[in-house]
């Protein structure tokens, strides 16, 4: 049984962790966890399966310790205990361990296949998707695809920068179609790739093809991660052709239009452009306010207008970040037993960067990165793609964006007039690595510490 104090602390930690890891990683590894006990210098987190316990313990423990320690105001060691709340899929495998977006009460798509079933987030519905000018065409096309698969927009390709609702729409299509007794399958490109590699290794190619070529709707998220994976792209190409020729709906999402994804084969890019390619733009201020109100209403909380305005101003580019900030404020208010007020929200958000009172000077930050990696400043702004230089450059992009709080365009100018999509890619790469490589978190801390002692 979870201790109430431990659960309040862990809810606050989850609100902060949601801002530092990708949505798939958060939903897969952290969402179904709970705070169990607070002990002297130690905090115990409950997890549903051995697989998740091992993954968190080896790949995310450093970040979790740092987060919990920051909340408790002292160095805190964190351990993970199995509570046994995972859900078996009937094959002896626990579904909680699948690298797919998950939820506490998943909606299951019934697919006749021995391979693991998908898990969909019930919150990602059309009803909860806030439609505005920035996403109206994508939302309308998604609704049409779920109602009449294969009829009008086939394939449908939705693209945007991260955190604007692509995953929400894809899962909404799947869930609406399933409710209408249609067979729909939602996967990330990573899951498709992993299933393909496993099927080949175990001699189960026929089972793989039955799984992916039987649904009436196939929805593939983060299509950009197919880039450079030749055999996977070839298999997906034939899967696409088979589904499309049978009038089945294919929906894909990526961070760029198909033609702009480097490493995506021309024949696949061409297929995606057969139907409708549409984008989602960052929401305007009024839309961000509406999204906050809707998210708060989901949790049965009345969000004061001044708090909504503060949050809307803090997250202009990402709905995911907007939701993370809201969760942070609500968890903080719950932890300290105070109503959600402007003062409470300001304190909750200030705690996100406790060690930094003002953003660091961008030039000093670049010098710190240069010194740490032993890479000249000219090389950071240069054209070399050598691994040590590229790694240092991506770190610089991340710190300039996250710590110095520069706009994407400013970051690009400082690093050799690079365009904003290149900067987004660099920042995302570091963000993803942070959730799997504790050493990177330590490296960033060392760079930040060198700035504090400058």
pLDDT given at position 253 = 94
Tell me, yes or no, whether 248 lies in a domain: yes
* Radius of gyration, alpha carbons of the chain: 22
> Is 0.95 topped by the overall pTM?
no
Domain match, 133 and 257 both = yes
* CATH classification at residue 62: 3.30.300.180
Q: Is 157 within a domain? A: yes
CA distance 211 to 361: 53
Whole-angstrom CA distances from 338 to 1, 292, 297, 343 are 25, 19, 18, 10
Q: Walk along the chain (454 residues) and give the pLDDT tens digit of each residue.
A: 557 888 888 888 888 887 777 776 787 788 889 999 998 889 999 998 877 888 888 778 888 998 888 888 888 899 999 886 543 333 333 333 333 222 222 333 333 333 344 668 888 899 989 898 889 999 999 999 999 998 888 899 999 988 888 999 999 999 999 888 888 999 988 889 888 988 888 888 888 888 898 889 999 999 988 888 889 999 999 999 999 988 899 999 998 899 888 888 899 999 998 999 999 988 888 888 989 988 888 888 888 999 898 898 888 778 888 888 898 888 888 888 888 888 888 888 876 654 445 778 899 999 999 988 888 999 999 988 888 899 999 999 999 988 888 888 899 999 999 988 899 989 888 888 876 666 777 788 788 877 765 5
Nearest one of 170, 50, 177 to 110, comparing CA atoms? 177
What is the predicted pLDDT for the residue at 2? Answer: 59
Whether residues 259 and 209 share a domain: the answer is: yes
What pLDDT does residue 238 have?
A: 92
What is the C-alpha to C-alpha distance for residues 304 and 169, in angstroms, rounded to an integer?
28
Examine the domain organization and report whether 368 and 327 are in the same domain. Answer: no
Domain enclosing residue 70, as ranges: 4-82
Q: How would DSSP label each residue in 280-312?
A: -PPP-HHHHHHHHHHHHHHTT----HHHHHHHH
* CATH code, 215: 3.40.50.300
Residues 70 and 213 in one domain: no
Domain match, 199 and 306 both: no
Do 75 and 120 sit in the same domain of this protein? no
Residue 422 parent element (H or E): helix 420-434
Look up tokens 């200030």; give the residue: 350
Q: What are phi and psi of 452, to 5 degrees?
A: -65, -25
CA pair distance 17, 27, nearest whole angstrom: 11
Q: Which residues pair with 218 in a beta bridge?
A: 185, 250
pLDDT of residue 105: 29
Last residue of a domain, one of 244, 279, 314: 279
**In angstroms, how far is the first alpha carbon of the chain from the final one?**
47
Supply the CATH number for residue 297's domain: 1.10.8.60
Same domain, 372 and 328: no
The total domain count for the chain is 4
Q: Give the distance, in angstroms, between the CA of residue 339 and the centroid of all CA atoms in the same chain.
A: 29
In a domain, 322, yes or no: yes
- My answer on whether 44 and 102 are in the same domain is no
Query: Per the domain annotation, does 168 fall within a domain?
Result: yes
Same domain, 241 and 322: no
Cα pseudo-dihedral 81, 84, 85, 91, rounded to 10:
130
- Does any domain span residue 239? yes
Domain identity same for 374 and 432: yes
């Amino acid at each position: 049984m979870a201790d109430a104090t431990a659960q309040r602390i862990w809810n606050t930690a989850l609100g902060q962790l949601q801002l530092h890891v990708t949505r798939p990683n958060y939903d897969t590894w952290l969402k179904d966890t709970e705070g169990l006990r607070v002990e002297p210098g130690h905090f115990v987190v409950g997890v549903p399966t051995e697989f998740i316990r091992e993954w968190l313990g080896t790949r995310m423990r450093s970040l979790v310790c740092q987060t919990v320690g920051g909340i408790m105001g002292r160095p805190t060691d964190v351990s993970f205990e199995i509570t046994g709340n995972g859900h078996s899929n009937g094959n002896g495998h626990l579904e909680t361990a699948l690298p797919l977006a998950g939820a506490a009460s998943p909606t299951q798509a019934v697919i006749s296949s021995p391979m693991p079933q998908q898990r969909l987030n019930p919150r990602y519905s059309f009803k909860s998707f806030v439609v505005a000018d920035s996403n109206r065409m994508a939302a309308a096309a998604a609704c049409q695809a779920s109602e009449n698969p294969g009829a009008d927009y086939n394939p449908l390709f939705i693209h945007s920068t991260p955190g604007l609702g692509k995953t929400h729409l894809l899962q909404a299509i799947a869930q609406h179609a399933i409710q209408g007794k249609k067979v729909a399958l939602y996967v990330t490109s990573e899951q498709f790739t992993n299933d393909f590699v496993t099927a080949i290794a175990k001699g189960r190619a026929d089972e793989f093809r039955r799984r992916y070529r039987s649904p009436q709707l196939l929805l593939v998220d983060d299509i950009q991660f197919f880039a450079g994976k030749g055999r996977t792209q070839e298999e997906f190409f034939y899967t696409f052709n088979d589904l499309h020729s049978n009038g089945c709906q294919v929906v894909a999402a990526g961070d760029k239009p198909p033609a702009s994804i480097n490493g995506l084969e021309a024949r696949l890019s061409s297929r995606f452009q057969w139907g409708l390619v549409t984008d989602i733009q960052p929401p305007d201020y009024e839309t961000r306010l509406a999204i906050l109100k809707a998210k708060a209403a989901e949790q049965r909380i009345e969000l004061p207008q001044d708090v909504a305005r503060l949050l809307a101003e803090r997250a202009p580019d990402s709905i995911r970040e907007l939701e993370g900030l809201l969760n942070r404020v609500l968890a903080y208010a719950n932890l300290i037993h105070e109503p959600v007020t402007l003062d409470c929200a300001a304190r909750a958000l200030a705690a996100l960067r406790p060690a930094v009172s003002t953003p660091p000077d961008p030039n000093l930050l670049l010098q710190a990165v240069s010194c740490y990696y032993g890479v000249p400043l000219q090389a950071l702004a240069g054209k070399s793609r050598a691994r040590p230089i590229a790694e240092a450059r991506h770190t610089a992009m991340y710190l300039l964006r996250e710590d110095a709080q520069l706009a994407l365009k400013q970051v690009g100018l400082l690093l050799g007039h690079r365009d904003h999509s290149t900067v987004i890619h660099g920042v995302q790469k570091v963000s993803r690595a942070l959730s799997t490589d504790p050493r990177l978190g330590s490296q960033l801390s060392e760079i930040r510490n060198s700035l504090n002692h400058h």
